[in-house]
Amino acid sequence: MIAKFIVAISAFYHILATVAAMMAVFQFARILRGEESHHPLWRHIFGWAEAHLWISGLMLLAVGIYITGLEEYLANPKLWTKVSLVTLWAANSLCIKKTLRSASHGQRNLMFGTSIACLFYGTFLGVAKPLPYGVLPFSYFVAGFVLTIALGTYGVSRLLNPMRLA
């Protein structure tokens, strides 16, 4: 019973960190659009959110293994989609930090689109409780993730276009 309570608290903690990361990404978009000047607070919020997503994600992983057992937990294709997503998100975040200022418009769109897609799809996977353990194969989860990246990149390309005067 206490393990399930820890899952609930960890999931809430994970959602708070996700919301902070999403807020920071959209704030970066506003800065890139010229709607707001650079503000270091958002860089700190994004760094805080990343750290707390890792901490809360590891907490969820540990409690999930404790509750279901290692072998059953590792048999979940949703878990491996999350692992793929987090790996891509970490690499993408590193690219954003290292190349944001020098990146082309298309590269920025892809980086921000990927970041937003990782946050949205990761949130979807977190709340998609009816889908573990063979309901859908790994390839379907990955296809959904790729589609989310495409939609996220398209949305960001629309969002980062300079505002047109009416």
Contact 95, 124 (CB under 8 A): no
Mean pLDDT for the stretch of residues 82-95: 92
Q: Give me the sign of the Cα torsion angle 149, 126, 54, 13.
A: positive
Question: Does residue 153 surpass a pLDDT of 60?
Answer: yes
Q: What's the confidence (pLDDT) of residue 162?
A: 57
Tokens 């907490």 map to which residue? 59
**Residues shown for the chain:** 166
pTM for this predicted structure:
0.84
Confidence band of 36 (pLDDT split at 50, 70, 90): confident
